[in-house]
């Protein structure tokens, strides 16, 4: 796969979403921007909860917003954080995204220092659990 860079608009959307993060416990703010096949951009931020188990990650917020609006096909995901190097999605988010992203799906990881890493979904979750019934 030729690594396709994210548009600047998608990167800006992820950073803007990060500003809305609710992270009073970890102080680790994350923003995500998911571009749908039709061009719409869906954003999300992490929302922590004192129970920890009730916390939802930025990537799943963006994906569930898109899915609730009828989108199931996506072209790119950007994840914005302050970590160096930029953080990838957690394991739960990787498995959640496996439902909607094939191994070639591009993900761009960015941080507040300007670093950018482009990877394929399959590099982040090799041999993802995908029952045959889910594959189109």
Question: Could you list the active site residues?
Answer: 59
Long-range contact set of residues 12-20: C-beta below 8 Å, sequence gap at least 24: 13/41, 13/43, 13/78, 14/43, 14/78, 14/79, 14/80, 14/110, 15/80, 15/110, 15/112, 16/43, 17/43, 17/44, 17/45, 17/58, 17/62, 17/80, 18/45, 18/58, 18/80, 18/81, 19/45, 20/45
> In this structure, are residues 14 and 33 in contact, taking their beta carbons and an 8 Å threshold?
yes
∠ CA 90-55-25 to the nearest 5 degrees? 95
């Amino acid at each position: 796969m030729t690594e396709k860079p994210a548009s600047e608009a998608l990167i800006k959307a992820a950073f803007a979403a990060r500003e809305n993060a609710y992270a009073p416990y970890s102080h680790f703010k994350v923003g995500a921007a998911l571009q749908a096949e039709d061009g719409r951009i869906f954003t999300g931020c992490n929302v922590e909860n004192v129970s920890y188990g009730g916390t939802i990650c930025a990537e799943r917020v963006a994906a569930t917003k898109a899915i609730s609006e009828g989108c199931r096909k996506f072209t790119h995901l950007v994840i914005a954080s302050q970590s160096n190097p930029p953080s990838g999605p957690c394991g739960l988010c990787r498995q959640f995204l496996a439902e909607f992203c094939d191994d070639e799906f591009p993900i761009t990881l960015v941080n507040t220092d300007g670093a950018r890493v482009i990877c394929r979904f399959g590099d982040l979750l090799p041999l993802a659990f995908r029952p045959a019934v889910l594959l189109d």
